[in-house]
Amino acid sequence: AQTVTQSQPEMSVQEAETVTLSCTYDTSESDYYLFWYKQPPSRQMILVIRQEAYKQQNATENRFSVNFQKAAKSFSLKISDSQLGDAAMYFCATGERGGSNYKLTFGKGTLLTVNP
Amino acid sequence: KAGVTQTPRYLIKTRGQQVTLSCSPISGHRSVSWYQQTPGQGLQFLFEYFSETQRNKGNFPGRFSGRQFSNSRSEMNVSTLELGDSALYLCASSLYMGVETQYFGPGTRLLVL
């Protein structure tokens, strides 16, 4: 079974600074996807970024980028130029492709606070 | 395109009752997945529907069931509610079955008294 571990329950960052959220995972599949979702106080889950495991190039999406280390099964999220609107709970998730187990497995989340 | 919609947004029920939650996916999306979110257990997968068939199920008791209609809209039902069923229920849609990128609705917050 897949497991996802987010070792930082809470993080804080100053506005305009950079912060990195950590995520490690365990999977037996060679083909899978990795995701970071953001859940603000409204509780709406918003996709931040996605990475295909077969791609070596790290995904980027504006101020958000990932550091994907496949051998180490690590998938960290870097937020540059942090903004007040980035304050939210961030969830790392993995999904297996193929086989019969089609579902996302989420970590417990990291609560990010952005200080003005 | 309109996003995933869920109704109702809030529900209060008492133990022993049953409840039905509804989810309308993004237009053109054919797969709908359901998740339960609680402070203690986090986000847990309930089930996924594609082409009106349940394709995958999480580790939940049979009191939790669902269905999908021909227009891809989905409902989930919880019978004989227990206090522990109080949670945020999230629906997510994707183009096809599997771990294509899933887009989430705003959730239905269920409180069981």
pLDDT digits (tens, 9 = 90+) for B78-92: 999 999 999 999 999
Query: Mind listing the pLDDT tens digit of every residue in chain A (116 residues)?
Result: 679 999 999 999 999 999 999 999 998 877 789 999 999 998 889 999 999 988 889 999 999 999 999 999 999 999 999 999 999 999 999 987 655 567 789 999 999 999 99
Residues facing A98 on adjacent strands: none
Judge whether residue B107 has pLDDT over 90: yes
Judge whether residue B16 has pLDDT over 60: yes
Which residues in chain A are contacts of B45 at CB distance < 8 A?
103-105
User: What's residue B99's pLDDT?
Assistant: 63
Asked if the Cβ–Cβ distance from A108 to B42 is below 8 Å, we say yes
Max Cα distance, chain A (Å): 46
Judge whether residue B97 has pLDDT over 80: no
Q: How far apart are the first and last CA of chain A?
A: 41
Specify the 3-state DSSP secondary structure of A16.
coil
Q: Could you give phi then psi for residue B61, rounded to 5 degrees?
A: -65, 165
Q: Mean of the per-residue pLDDT values for chain B? A: 94
- pLDDT exceeding 90 applies to what percent of chain B? 86
How far off is chain A from B24, nearest CA to CA, in Å?
Answer: 15
How far off is chain B from A34, nearest CA to CA, in Å?
Answer: 10
Which residues in chain B are contacts of A34 at CB distance < 8 A?
none
- Please, which pLDDT band fits residue B56 given cuts at 50, 70 and 90? confident
Cis peptide before B8 (omega within 30 of 0): yes
